Amino acid sequence: MTKNAKLALSLLDLTSLSADDTNESIKALCSKAVTPFTSVAAVCVYPPFLSVCQTELKGKGVNFAAVANFPSGDEGLESAIAQTKNIIALGGNEVDLVIPYKEWIAGNKNSAPDMIRACKDVCGDQVALKVILESGAFENMDSLYDLSVAAINAGADFIKTSTGKTDTSATLEAAETMLKAIKDSGKKCGFKASGGIRTHAQAVEYMELAQNIMGESWVCADNFRFGASGLLNDLLGVLGQATDSEQKSTY
C-alpha cells in the first residue's frame, strides 16, 4: 500500500484553480509540494500565480503548470496562443490547455487539432503541452477516442480528462478510452486524470488501469499525472503522516 501511495504522490499535480485564490493561498499550496516521502510532480495554478510558485519552489524539482483557454475552451485560437506564450514568459514549463471540445462534439474536427498544433509550436520541446479534452462532456466514447487520437497526432504531450469544473470529471471509462488511444497511436504521449480523485483507493484504480494497458514501468511522472489537491492528504495519511485540516479541494 505504501509503495502505491508514494508512487501516486510523485504523480500528483497539486492544483488550485479557485476564483478566490490569493498569493497566500498559493503559498500554502506550495508548502505542501515537498513531502518527507517525495515531491509532487507539479503545481498547477492560474498564470498570475506562477511567480509565487517559483519563489516558493524553484530548484526543488517541482514543475510549474498553468491553465490556458480555461475552463470553457471557447476563447479562440489567437487567445489560446497568447495565453500559452504568457504562461511560458511567466516561467511555466507546463501548459494545461482546454481545447474547443464542444466544437469537436458538434462536428468541427479541425479547430481542436489546429489549436493544439499552434500551441505546441509555441511550447517547443522545452515546455509540456497537456491537452484537456473534458471527457465528461462525451456521451460517446468513440468520439472521445477519436479526439484523443487527433490530439496525440497534433502534438499533445499529455491528454488530460477534465477541467474539474463540470458535473462529470475523470472516470475509469474515459481513462481507459484515452489510454487505449495512446497505446494504439504508438506515439509518446502521457495521460492525466483530473477532477474528483480524492482517495488512495481511487488513485490505485487509475494506476492499475494504466499499468494493464501501457505496462507497469510506464506509470511515472513523465507519462502519468493526477490533477488534484484533495488527494494529497489521503496519500499522506496512508503513508503515516498526520495532516492538518483537509486541504481544500478545488479540482
Let me know if 32 is a catalytic residue: no
Amino acid at residue number 224 = F
Let me know if 96 is a catalytic residue: yes
Q: What is the DSSP letter of 199?
A: S
Q: What is the DSSP letter of 210?
A: H
State residue 190 phi and psi, 5-degree precision: -95, 180
- The grid cell for 248 is 481544500
Q: Is residue 40 within 8 Å of 33, Cβ to Cβ?
A: yes
Query: Nearest CA to 156 among 99, 195, 111?
Result: 99
Strands 94-98, 42-45: pairing is unpaired
Q: How far is CA 112 from CA 106, 127, 129, 207, in A?
A: 12, 19, 13, 27
State which H helix or E strand residue 66 sits in: strand 63-68
Which one is catalytic: 32, 120, 130, 192?
192
Let me know if 248 is a catalytic residue: no
Query: Nearest CA to 157 among 119, 208, 104?
Result: 119
Q: What is the DSSP letter of 136?
A: G
Which one is catalytic: 13, 96, 157, 234?
96
- Going 68 to 74 to 147 to 108, the CA torsion angle's sign is negative
- The grid cell for 105 is 462534439
State which H helix or E strand residue 129 sits in: strand 128-132
Which one is catalytic: 32, 120, 130, 160?
160
Residues marked as catalytic:
96, 160, 192
